[in-house]
Amino acid sequence: MSVVISPTQTLRRSQLYRRHRQLGADFAQFGDSIAVDHYGDDEVSQARVLGLADLSTLPRIGFKGLGTPVWADSCGVKQPAQPNWATLQGDNTLVARLSSNELLLASNLTGSSKLIETLATATRAHRVYALPRGDSHSWLSLCGEQAANTLAKVCAIDFRAQYFTNLQIAQTSLAKINAVIVRTDIGDNLNYAIFSDSCSLEYLWDSLLDAMSEYRGRAIGLQALRDCATL
């Protein structure tokens, strides 16, 4: 159950919290994370057309090094066979393989992941290095039937569903900044998880909202994504 809370009550909050407040956001605590719960009514319908959610306070971590694949396998991680693909674990933790020897893990929409917690404290093998992706990379979710059209305005890759498969990854330039984009459909709703440099989060947020305006897209809260997952 979520508890309504102010982002200024916590030590860790998204760089976008002032923008969220200007949009009339209600914040809630999910586990140890503070995120936008919702902005208004009927956000599920908005999510199905075009919505943008800030998930930057939810847990994520990365690992890199020659020993990473074997070590992760020994820890029970279900890994993609090839780079630039992702898998979902039993608890819906996302495991994205960015190269032969690099993994990015992101929590499920409840803001919890026993796998991330376990790997963060596990003894690492030789040539396995942890990467603080929760600090270095922001996390946005762009969803809805117009999501691919929105991305086409700020990226050269064709993200349409018939060409870009679910759980496929693109490491590319998005609105002139580097980004990792993973197609992670939520239920039957098209969704793209976008990871980029945390320092550029405000710029990327504003750029995507501007690109979305043609399709009447707007910001949505985490609850809308969770509701889409249960439909």
* pLDDT at 1 (0 to 100): 42
Q: List pLDDT tens digits, range 25-39.
A: 999 887 667 899 999
Check whether 181 has a pLDDT greater than 70. Answer: yes
Q: Which residue from 223, 214, 226 is spatially nearest to 49, judged by alpha carbons?
A: 214
- CA atoms of 27 and 57, how far apart (whole Å): 12
Contact 162, 116 (CB under 8 A): no
Q: Is the pTM of this model over 0.75?
A: yes
- CA atoms of 24 and 93, how far apart (whole Å): 30
Structural domains for the chain: 1-231 (3.30.1360.120)
Average the pLDDT over 47-51 and give the result: 98
- CA atoms of 18 and 155, how far apart (whole Å): 27
- CA atoms of 225 and 231, how far apart (whole Å): 10
Sign of the alpha-carbon torsion through 151, 153, 158, 160: positive
Burial class (CB in 10 A: 0-12, 13-18, 19+), 148: buried
